[in-house]
Amino acid sequence: MLRYLRLYAAFVRFSFSKAMVFRLDFSFRIVMDLIYYAVNLAFYGVITSHSEQLAGWDSGQVRIFVSGYLLLDAIAMTLFSTNLWMFSKAVNTGELDYHLVRPVSSLFFLSLREFAANSFVNLLMAAGIMAWAIGSYSESFSAGRVILYLALILNGTLLYYVLQMLTAVPVFWTQSGMGLQGLFHQMARLMERPDGVFRGWSRKIVTIFVPFALMASFPARVLFSAEVDYGLLLHLAAVTAAFWGILLFVWARGLRAYSSASS
């Protein structure tokens, strides 16, 4: 574990060195994410200015929910999204070969080797937006509840990673990952809706089969409820563990099917 932490620290140092080489690109990505944050906050700001409640949440709660998925998105962008975008190219061009001969977990190496140093600035901004959303809420939360909320957002990030990776790994068999990854990005928008808007079968889908509602919406629900809902926590843990297990299984099968590329 300690070795992997040390290695991750090396990845971060290395990625910062790389990012600094391209100064202009470094600043463009910051601007790009700033626009994304502003659009999302404004979108829900407009809705809540015309309606007192949205799926059972008032404007302050909606702001916290939005800050939750913005933080999740920033963590994903900083830690692993760049790696997952490059994954299908690595499989098709045979770049994966060198990763597979390194004495490190291949899943760890491929998912985390590129730390998006320019997104790190956005991560700080997203954390600031969350601090502002929680701080400006009409009621105060206990420190324990806020820590639990942050832990659940991290769990949501893990789930987001697992789902994104599950749509990337089939490239071992399909050779083209564009369609599935496009589907993932469309479906990921479900994360940006309060789970209260989903009813009946659609609720089952977003809470069990493609559990985007578990990423930011359920954590917000845990934060707002008067008592901790242990059933909800158990559901979160069970779904995350199940998807993690599926990913490990599919990953092992994918590596078996890997045929590299001719030289």
Partner 1 sequence: MIHVEHLSKSFRVFQKDPGFRGSLRSLFKRKWIEKHALKDLNLHVGPGEIVGLVGANGAGKTTAVKMLAGIIHPTSGTANVLGHTPWQRKNAFRREIALLMGQKAQLWWDLPAGDCFELLRDIYSLPEAEFRKTLGSLTAMLGVEGQLRTQIRRLSLGERMKMEIIAALLHQPKVVFLDEPTIGLDLTAQRAVRKFLLEYRASHRPAMILTSHYMEDIEQLCERIVILREGEKVFDGPLADIQRAHSVRKVVIARLGEPAAGSEAAWERFELPAAWASAVRRTAEEVRYSVDRGRVAEAASRMLQGMPVADLSIEEEDISNLIEALLHRRPQ
Instruction: State the residues that interact with partner 1 by CB under 8 A.
Output: 3, 6-7, 10-11, 14, 17-18, 21-22, 94-98, 100-104, 106, 255-256, 258-260, 262-263
C-beta of 136 vs 176, nearer to partner 1: 176
Nearest to 79 by CA among 129, 116, 44, 39: 116
Distance, in Å, from the CA atom of 185 to the CA atom of 164, rounded to the nearest integer, reads 8
Q: How far is the CB of 157 from partner 1 (least distance, A)?
A: 24
In single-letter form, the type of residue at position 68 comes to G
Q: How far is the CB of 28 from partner 1 (least distance, A)?
A: 17
Terminal Cα-to-Cα distance of the chain (whole angstroms): 35
* Residue 53 DSSP SS3: coil
Nearest to 129 by CA among 194, 233, 216: 216
C-beta of 132 vs 173, nearer to partner 1: 173
Q: How far is the CB of 262 from partner 1 (least distance, A)?
A: 7
Q: b/e per residue, 218-254, with b = 16+ CB within 10 A?
A: bbbbbbbeeeeeeebbebbeebbeebeeebeeebeeb
Q: How far is the CB of 102 from partner 1 (least distance, A)?
A: 5
C-beta of 25 vs 229, nearer to partner 1: 25
C-beta of 45 vs 254, nearer to partner 1: 254
